[in-house]
Amino acid sequence: LIDGAWIDAPQTEANVSPSDIADVIGHFPLATADMVDGAVDAAKRAFPAWSREIPEKRADILDRIGQRIAQERAFLGEVLAREEGKVLADALAEVDRASRVFRFFAGEALRVTGETVASLRGQCEATVRRRPLGVVGMITPWNFPIAIPAWKIAPALAFGNCVVLKPAELTPACAWHLARIIRECGVPAGVFNLVCGSGAVVGDRLVRHRGVAAISFTGSTTTGARIAAIAAGRMARVQLEMGGKNPLVVLADADLDQAIEIALNGAFFQTGQRCTASSRLIVEASVHDAFVSELAARLRSLNVGHALDADSTIGPVVSEPQLAKDVAYIRAGREEGAQLVTGGEVLERRTEGFYLSPALFAETTNEMRINREEIFGPVAGVIRVADYDEALAVANDTEFGLSAGICTASHKIACHFRDHAEAGMVMINLPTAGVDYHVPFGGSKGSSFGSREQGRQAVEFYTSTYTAYDRPL
Ligand code: ADP
């Protein structure tokens, strides 16, 4: 979608369901670098009028987009479940999230504020004001194919920017339908552009294009680091959300049943394919054995199956390469001496897809690769610790810092963990995954770079400030 028109690309690629490789959702474009240039040029041309538009107009359009997403909920949820493989209930919840995000930022469009300060010079006033950046490039991953584009696009448009979105190769359908809705809801031509295709061609051109003022990226740490280096070279603003190796601490005083449900949800739901998934379960020794055996029993009771089957609790892994990666990590875990308590088997189902039983390792150490590197699959390792102090040290001994959780009945320890866990999001008696959209999302250390996404803080990335000094004559 470039300058308000749907353009054919010279090549297309089949979008295949990971639940059933015979289910082809569609054939989506592999755009060229020239098409990226066309999209950026269109966005630049659209920017002056859009950025000067009265905020209420932008708010109304965003509100309409949010409502349309809600109206098309059933359809979009099914497309999402088919192309990404999360079970339908999770897909519908993600669509709801996208709808809410647009409506939240519809309101935020009216709340761009500044600051008035007495100047140090007499009879003079200083004001700090905000303005949009221009063209923002967005590069998104496959694991939340409608919610992540939504939480980047909505604030960008709300504050008067124009957008070029490059969605993940594996999930173009959600982005395509979102673009269709955005266009149908009255966003002017060129204000929002969609360019589908590969990271190496489309993504790379977007990052290098001098007409793109800022890049918002969610994806792997390797790609994020490359993008940051290129963006820095041309002084473009950049925001990166990358990996996690999120710890969940379970202390002896926790409600064990609740802690097991929290671990189950945080580590394995949505096939563990969440950057906030709890992949390191750090458990106090006195409850360790009970925790492991009961969590394993719960895992065996889950149904891994087709994303659209009503009785599936966990869908397939997103793709064949990702399945191969998960299996390789499971092998590495065993070779390093971890004990595979349950799961880790490639499964056959009624349709041909990428099914893997959720894998729980025990007797792991924090030095093992399975506890240091992000796997991005239904794999978690349990680490036994003597007490809270050791648990906190292990939790923080990682290069990542996205989300961290603790299960405990002690308010004192929970507060200590809240303030000492090196993570951008801290969860007390809650799964590490699962966040609200009206508060900031992001991490510390190697997980994030740049200012926060979502919530009121999103304005920091999508606007820049300027300072005006004013002396009345
Ligand atoms: P994942 O392992 O989840 O696919 P990636 O970081 O490779 O993570 O992908 C996230 C997004 O980044 C995708 O949209 C992908 O196409 C894009 N991407 C991959 N490589 C590059 C690159 N060199 N430049 C820009 N974008 C890229």
CA 13 to CA 280: how far, in whole Å?
36
> 312: Cβ below 6 Å to ligand 1?
no
**Ligand 1 center from residue 34 Cα (angstroms):** 19
DSSP per position, 361-402:
EES--TTSHHHHS---SSEEEEEEESSHHHHHHHHH-SS--S
The region that residue 105 occupies, defined by phi over 0 for left and psi between -120 and 50 for alpha, beta otherwise, is: alpha
Quickly state the pLDDT bin for 305 (edges 50, 70, 90).
very high
Catalytic-labelled residue, pool 83, 84, 108, 241: 241
Straight-line distance from the first to the last Cα atom of the chain, in angstroms, rounded to the nearest whole number: 50
| C-alpha to C-alpha distance for 76 and 177, rounded to whole angstroms | 8
CA distance 207 to 126: 35
DSSP letters spanning 293-358: HHHHHHHHTS-B--TT-TT-SB---S-HHHHHHHHHHHHHHHHTT-EEEE---EE--SS---EE--
Q: Is the CB of 203 under 6 A from ligand 1?
A: yes
CA angle at 114 for the pair 110 and 115, rounded to the nearest 5°: 150
pLDDT band of 177, cuts 50, 70, 90: very high
Q: Mean pLDDT, to the nearest integer, of 327-334?
A: 98
Question: Lowest-pLDDT range, 101-105, 123-127, 153-157, 345-349?
Answer: 123-127
Cα–Cα distance, 168 to 179 (Å, whole number): 14
pLDDT band at 363 (very low <50, low <70, confident <90, very high): very high
Cα–Cα dist 319/83, whole Å: 10
Whole-angstrom distance, CA of residue 147 vs CA of residue 76: 12
Report residue 235 CA to chain centroid gap: 25
Which atom of ligand 1 sits closest to the CA of residue 222?
6
State how far the Cα of 112 lies from the Cα of 453, in Å rounded to an integer.
16
Ligand 1 lined by 204 (C-beta under 6 Å): yes
Is the confidence at residue 65, as pLDDT, over 90? Answer: yes
Cβ(168) – ligand 1 distance below 6 Å: yes
**Residue pLDDT, tens place only, 414-452:** 999 999 999 999 999 999 999 999 999 999 999 999 999
Residue nearest to atom 20 of ligand 1 (CA): 199
Among this protein's residues, is 241 annotated catalytic?
Answer: yes
Q: Is 463's pLDDT higher than 90?
A: yes
Report the Cα 141 to chain-centroid distance in Å: 7
For 249-294, how does the pLDDT look when each residue is reduced to its tens digit (9 = 90+)?
A: 999 999 999 999 999 999 999 999 999 999 999 999 999 999 999 9
Sign of the dihedral defined by the CA atoms of residues 14, 17, 21, 25, in that order: negative
Tell me if 334 sits within 8 A of 324, measured CB to CB.
no
In this prediction, residue 123 carries a pLDDT of 86
Q: What is the DSSP letter of 423?
A: S
CA of 220 to the centre of ligand 1 (A): 7
Question: Does any ligand 1 atom lie closer than 6 A to the CB of residue 145?
Answer: no
CA of 174 to the centre of ligand 1 (A): 17
Q: pTM of the predicted model, to two decimals?
A: 0.98
* Token digits of residue 366: 């924090």
Q: Are 106 and 59 in contact (CB under 8 A)?
A: yes
H or E element at residue 128: strand 125-132
Q: Are strands 115-118 and 125-132 parallel, antiparallel or unpaired?
A: antiparallel
Q: How far does the centroid of ligand 1 lie from the alpha carbon of residue 215, in Å?
A: 13
